[in-house]
């Protein structure tokens, strides 16, 4: 294989999303048991969803799509890109997370982290960042 793991892709998407969108954060959303994820509920699947407002922005979209395509090709996997306009993003994300319809990697504005954490839907990616040397 190419050496790019699912965790590596999450890290790359995080770096790409942060670089393209300025200040932000990337979190992994834990499944609630409801809804349909692109990995079919298989925790060993390399497929996952990536939700971001950047895919609606003309300047950022090509960079994000390039990162997604490179990972999909390297891992022979599929990332389902989900996007909402920034002015609707927090509302849509809150509704989708609350209903168990969002899993995978989510692009977050740092100002929203506390609200998302209170929902109990975020997974700490600190160990992934530590292992990858991300600071």
pLDDT tens sequence across 14-61: 544 433 333 344 455 554 444 445 555 566 778 889 999 999 999 999
* pLDDT score, position 38: 56
- Between CA 113 and CA 135 the distance in angstroms is 18
Ranges of H-type helices in 5-85: 6-21, 61-75
Cβ atoms of residues 4 and 67 within 8 Å: no
pTM of the complete model beyond 0.85: no
pLDDT tens sequence across 82-130: 999 999 999 999 999 889 888 788 999 999 988 888 988 888 888 878 8
| Alpha-carbon torsion, ordered 131, 51, 27, 39, to 10 deg | -60
- Between CA 121 and CA 116 the distance in angstroms is 7
């Amino acid at each position: 294989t190419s050496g790019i793991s699912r965790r590596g892709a999450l890290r790359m998407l995080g770096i790409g999303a942060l670089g393209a969108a300025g200040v932000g954060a990337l979190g992994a959303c834990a499944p609630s048991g409801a809804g349909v994820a692109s990995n079919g509920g298989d925790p060993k699947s390399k497929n996952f969803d990536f939700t971001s407002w950047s895919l609606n922005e003309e300047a950022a979209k090509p960079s994000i799509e390039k990162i997604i395509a490179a990972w999909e090709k390297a891992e022979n996997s599929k990332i389902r890109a989900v996007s909402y306009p920034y002015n609707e993003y927090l509302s849509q994300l809150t509704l989708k997370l609350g209903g168990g319809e969002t899993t995978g990697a989510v692009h977050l504005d740092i100002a929203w982290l506390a609200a998302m954490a209170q929902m109990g839907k975020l997974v700490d990616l600190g160990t992934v960042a530590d292992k990858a040397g991300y600071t």
